[in-house]
Amino acid sequence: MKLNRTVVFTAFAVIVSSCSTVKSLGTLGAPYPSGQSSEALCIDFSNDHTVYPADRSIGVFLFPFPFFKEVIKQQLSKYYSVFESEECNNSVRSIVIVLREVSFHTWSIGSLVPVYSVQARAAVSSDITGKNGSLVKMETQSAIFHGDYLVRSEPPLIIVARWAIIDAATKHAQKVACMDGLAICPEGSITKNEVDSLEIAKEYGELQRRDEPVVQRYLWTVPRNSQ
């Protein structure tokens, strides 16, 4: 009997682990204006096909790069005229940006009426050519976004991941602009932000109206990257 139970539990674990989903984070939903600054940046990206696994969930992955790319370009455009690498020439300063980390997880508290918690944070790093020609390395951490819910579902997880990426990208763009004297330098302390369930529901509703986010399903494979 013990052997049979072991076989059943093992088979269940194999089935669960073999059914994976990769969720995108949607888009910002509105066009952003090009920067009018005389300062120009040539932007390039690294690590742009990476999928990130949930810390405490089997078979749940996020593919955040398209969303991150949109956000970081929007934020840098507040201070610079931003061009992508194929549009650049050698006279334009370059910046290579990496979404270094997206950490997210959900877990339950209690048993009779469990409360589900979600949490996410993100980190962005870059190598930028300074005005004197030297290479400057930067890294920025987002605030930690956390919320508690009575129902377990994917909207809170997707939205807190979006907010963490927006926070990291906003602070990183400000840090880059600060180096050039174009913005006030952001504070370096990492805070923890409690998120409002109504705001999450509102933003997720807007995503659904745009037929977002995109969800890809994989059977018997664990996705390593997304093309």
* pLDDT at residue 3 is higher than 80: no
Supply the DSSP symbol for 152. Answer: -
Residue 114 class from Cβ within 10 Å (0-12 exposed, 13-18 middle, 19+ buried)?
A: middle
Q: Averaged over 199-219, what is the pLDDT?
A: 76
The C-alpha atoms of residue 2 and residue 114 are separated, in whole angstroms, by 30
Q: Three-class SS of residue 143?
A: coil
Q: Averaged over 211-221, what is the pLDDT?
A: 63
The pLDDT of residue 215 = 66
> 37-74: buried (b, 16+ CB within 10 Å) or exposed (e) per residue?
bebebbbebeeeebbbbbeeeebbbbbbbebbbbbbbb
Q: To which residue do tokens 């009426």 refer?
A: 113
The answer to whether the predicted template modeling score (pTM) of the entire model surpasses 0.85 is no
pLDDT digits (tens, 9 = 90+) for 141-165: 999 998 877 766 677 888 888 999 9
Residue 28: closest CA among 56, 61, 64, 67: 67
pLDDT digits (tens, 9 = 90+) for 55-109: 666 667 888 899 999 999 999 999 999 998 888 877 788 999 999 888 887 777 6
Domains and their CATH numbers in the chain: 2-219 (3.30.160.150)
167's CB contacts (< 8 A; 6+ apart) are: 122, 142, 143, 145
The pLDDT of residue 62 = 85
Give 99's strand partners.
124
202's CB contacts (< 8 A; 6+ apart) are: none
Q: Three-class SS of residue 150?
A: coil
The C-alpha atoms of residue 137 and residue 61 are separated, in whole angstroms, by 28
* pLDDT at residue 10 is higher than 60: no
Q: Three-class SS of residue 141?
A: strand
Q: Averaged over 185-203, what is the pLDDT?
A: 81
Q: To which residue do tokens 């190598």 refer?
A: 127
Q: Mean pLDDT across the chain, nearest whole number?
A: 77
Q: Three-class SS of residue 180?
A: coil
The pLDDT of residue 18 = 45
The pLDDT of residue 88 = 83
198's CB contacts (< 8 A; 6+ apart) are: none
- Greater confidence (126 vs 23) lies with 126
Q: Is the dihedral of CA 133, 135, 136, 140 positive or negative?
A: positive
The C-alpha atoms of residue 218 and residue 34 are separated, in whole angstroms, by 38
